[in-house]
Chain A
Amino acid sequence: MNSNDIEMVSVTKTFGSNLVVNNIDLAIPTGEFVSILGPSGCGKTTTLNMIAGFAQPSSGEIRIRGKSQRGVPPEKRGIGMVFQNYALFPHMTIAENVGFGLKMKKRPAGETRDAVQNALRRVHLDGFENRYPKELSGGQQQRTALARAIAPEPSLLLLDEPLSNLDLKLREAMRVELKDIQEQLAMTFVYVTHDQDEAMAMSDRIVVMQDGVIAQTGRPAEIYEHPRSSFVADFIGKSNLLPISDIRQIENDWFVSLGTKGLTLSVFIPDGMSGHDARYCCIRPEAVRLAVTDEGIPPLPNRLEGTLSRIVNLGAYFDCFITLKDGTVLKSLVRSTRLPGLAVNQAVFLSIDPDAVQLLSR
C-alpha cells in the first residue's frame, strides 16, 4: 500500500526555451489537502495540468497511486478536477452536468441518479436538478462544478483556483465547506491558488512555488513560523522583512545589525543553522509588541522607540506602521481593544522577543 497518492520525481516542463517547472520532487500523501501556492507564473498551474495529464512533463516522472502516468491520457487517470471558470456544460441541466462522469463510465442509470443526488446534497444544491448553469449564481455554479467532480468518487481531486471568481464573503464560506467535504470524503485534494489566506485556511500541507521550483513544503503553521526564505516569509502572511548588514556573537548571545544606522536586535540562532549564513530577518507584525509608555512593554532586550506614522483599522486589529529613529518602518499588529486611543504621530515603544526574530539565509 502506497501512502502517497501522487509522486512527482524530478519533473521538468519547458515551453520552447521557457523553463516553467524546474526539476521538482513532490509527494502528496493520500487523503491530505495540499495547496500549491505561488504568484502567477510560478508554474503551479502547469504542475496541476501535468498531474491531470493535459500537459506532459519534458522530463521526469509522475506517479499516481504508485503507477507511472507516462502515456496515460487524462480520461484514464481517474481523477476529478474543478476549473477556475467552472467549465459547466451550458447545454446540460445541473443533474446532467453532475452525472456526466458516471455516464461516461457507463454506470447504470439508477446508480447515476443516486450518485447525482448525493453529490448535490453534499453541496446543498438538491432541488436544482433541472436548472441550467446559466440560471445559477456564481456560487451555485461553483458548487455544481464541485459536485460534478466528486460525483464519480475519484480518490484525487484537482482544484485550479476554484474560488477566485467569487466575492470575499462567499469565498470564506466556501473555504470551510471545501475543507468539510474533503474530510468527509477522505479524498486527496490538490488545490492551486495564489491566495495565501485560502491556502492557510484549508491545507494540511502547503507547497510554495517560486519561478518553477518548490521554495518550501510544510504544514501551514510550520511555513508561517519558520519560512525558509525571504520569498516565503514575504508571500505567506505579513512580515517585517529586513536585510541583515552584520551579525556577531558575544559569548552565547547573537546580535544582528539591520540597515546602516545601528539598529541592533538580539536573536536566537535556530538548530541546524550557522549564524553567519543569516541574510534577512523576518519579524511577524503580531510579534512586534507596541506600548504607549515605557512601562507598557516587558523588560526584554529588544526595546525600540519610534513614532506611529500610520494606523490601518482592520476592525478587530490595528495595523500600525512605526517609524524608528533610524528611519526603518516596522509593522505591528495591535488588538484594537488593547490600545483604543492610539493616534498617529504619537511616540511609542516596541519590544520584540528574540525568539520571534526569524533568520533567513536567502
Chain B
Amino acid sequence: MSSIETLSALRQPTHLPVRLSRYFPLAPPLIVLMIAFAIPMGMMIGLSFHDADTGILTLDNYVRFFGDDLMLAGLWRTALMSGLVALCVTVMAYPVAYYLARSTSRWRVVVFALAITPELAGVVLRTYGWLVILEDHGAINNLLTWSGLISEPLPLSKNLIGVVIGLTHVVLPFGILSLLTSIQGIDPNLERAAQILGSSRVSIIRHIILPLSVPGIVSSLLIAFTMAASAYATPALLGGAGFKVIATMVYEQVLFYIDWPFAAVMAVILLVMMLTIAFIGARVEARLHRKLHI
C-alpha cells in the first residue's frame, strides 16, 4: 500500500507540464478576446470615470446620469422594451419549440427552417421590412384606412409597439432554440404516463411539460432580454427619435455630443443592468434545477 502512495507522490510533479500544455489550444481565442473584448471593455469602464474636458478621475458622469430624468427615462424604456420582448419571444417560441421537439411529421423540417432562416437575412433588412409594414403610410395602416376602419393611421412605429414587434421577430429564433433544447430533454413517456393516468392535453402541459421546461423558459427570457437590451439597429430604425433606448442614446452621445465619457457611463450602466438580470436568471435556473430534481 505505502509503496503505491509513495509512487503516486513522486509522479505528481511530472504531471505539471503536461497539464499546462493541455491549455495551449486556448491561447489563440484568449488573445483574440483580450484584444477585441477585455481591453476595450476595460478602457470603456476607465473612460466612464474621467472628466470629458480635463481627464481628471471623477464620479461626476455617474452623478449626472442618475440626476438626469431623460437618462433615467431612457433606462426605464430599455428595461420595459427588453422585458416585453423577452415575454413575447418566450410565449411565441414555446408552441413552436414544443412542436419541433415532439413532431415526427415531415413538416417538422420545414417549420424548423422557417423558424431559423430569417436569421440569415440580417437585422437591418428585416427591420426595414417591418418599417414598410408598420409605418404611418405602411401596409397595415394603408389597408385599414382604405377599408374605412380608421381615419387616422395607428401609431405602430416610432414607438414601443413597433420596436417590440421588430425585436421579437429578430430574437424569436434564439428563444425557440433554447426552449427546444429544454423540451427535447423531457422524456415523451412522461406525457404518455400522465395521459394513461387520465390527464387531458391541457393538464399534461400544466402538470408535466411546463414545470419541467421552466429552466428553458428562464434561459429563453434571459437570452431575449439581453439581446433586446443590447440591440441597436431595430430600435434605431423602428423607434427613431420617438423611442430612444440606451443603445441609441449612446450612439447619439458619441456622434452628436461627442461626450465619450458620458457615453461610456451609459454603456456601463446598460452592461450592469444586463449582468444583474443574467445573474438573477442563472440563480433562479440553478435553484429550479435543484427543486425540480432534473
> Using Cβ atoms and an 8 Å threshold, which residues of chain A touch B294?
90-91
- Residue A223 CB within 8 A of the other chain: no
- Residue B196 CB within 8 A of the other chain: yes
Q: Are B208 and A152 in contact (CB under 8 A)?
A: no
Interface with B: A77-85, A174-182, A197-205, A328-336, which one? A77-85
- Residue A52 CB within 8 A of the other chain: yes
> Using Cβ atoms and an 8 Å threshold, which residues of chain A touch B198?
75, 101, 104-105, 152
What per-residue 1/0 map shows which CB atoms of B197-213 lie under 8 Å from chain A? 11110010001100110
Closest chain-B Cβ to A87's Cβ sits at a distance in Å of 4
Number of B residues whose C-beta is below 8 Å from A? 21
Q: Are A90 and B189 in contact (CB under 8 A)?
A: no
Number of A residues whose C-beta is below 8 Å from B? 27
> Using Cβ atoms and an 8 Å threshold, which residues of chain A touch B189?
83, 85, 87
- Residue A133 CB within 8 A of the other chain: yes
> Using Cβ atoms and an 8 Å threshold, which residues of chain A touch B211?
91
- Residue B293 CB within 8 A of the other chain: yes
> Using Cβ atoms and an 8 Å threshold, which residues of chain A touch B199?
75, 100, 104
Q: Are B293 and A132 in contact (CB under 8 A)?
A: yes
Closest chain-B Cβ to A54's Cβ sits at a distance in Å of 6
- Residue A89 CB within 8 A of the other chain: yes
Q: Per a CB cutoff under 8 Å, which of B187, B190, B196 touches A52?
A: B196
Q: Per a CB cutoff under 8 Å, which of A77, A83, A90, A105 touches B292?
A: A90
- Residue A134 CB within 8 A of the other chain: yes
What per-residue 1/0 map shows which CB atoms of A114-142 lie under 8 Å from chain B? 00000000000000000011110000000
> Using Cβ atoms and an 8 Å threshold, which residues of chain B touch A152?
197-198
User: In the bound complex, how far is the Cα of B251 from the Cα of A186, in angstroms?
Assistant: 77
How would you classify the secondary structure of chain B's contact residues: helix, strand, loop or mixed?
helix
For chains A and B in complex, what number of residue pairs have CB atoms within 8 angstroms?
A: 68
Q: Are B197 and A104 in contact (CB under 8 A)?
A: yes
User: In the bound complex, how far is the Cα of B202 from the Cα of A104, in angstroms?
Assistant: 12
Q: Are B196 and A90 in contact (CB under 8 A)?
A: no
Closest chain-B Cβ to A323's Cβ sits at a distance in Å of 49
Q: Per a CB cutoff under 8 Å, which of B195, B203, B212 touches A74?
A: B195
- Residue A284 CB within 8 A of the other chain: no
User: In the bound complex, how far is the Cα of B200 from the Cα of A53, in angstroms?
Assistant: 13
Closest to A54 in B: B192
What per-residue 1/0 map shows which CB atoms of A136-169 lie under 8 Å from chain B? 0000000000001000100000000000000000
Closest chain-A Cβ to B197's Cβ sits at a distance in Å of 4
Q: Per a CB cutoff under 8 Å, which of B194, B200, B207, B293 touches A90?
A: B293
Q: Are A89 and B196 in contact (CB under 8 A)?
A: no
Q: Are B293 and A133 in contact (CB under 8 A)?
A: yes
Q: Per a CB cutoff under 8 Å, which of A80, A83, A88, A90 touches B192?
A: A83
- Residue B193 CB within 8 A of the other chain: yes
> Using Cβ atoms and an 8 Å threshold, which residues of chain B touch A79?
196
Closest to A160 in B: B189
24 pairs of residues in contact across A and B, judged by CB atoms under 8 Å: A52-B192, A52-B196, A54-B192, A73-B195, A74-B195, A74-B196, A75-B196, A75-B198, A79-B196, A81-B193, A83-B192, A85-B187, A87-B193, A88-B193, A89-B207, A90-B292, A90-B293, A91-B291, A91-B293, A104-B194, A104-B197, A104-B199, A105-B198, A152-B198
- Interface residues, chain A, with chain B CB atoms under 8 Å away: 52-54, 73-75, 77, 79-81, 83, 85, 87-91, 100-101, 104-105, 132-135, 148, 152
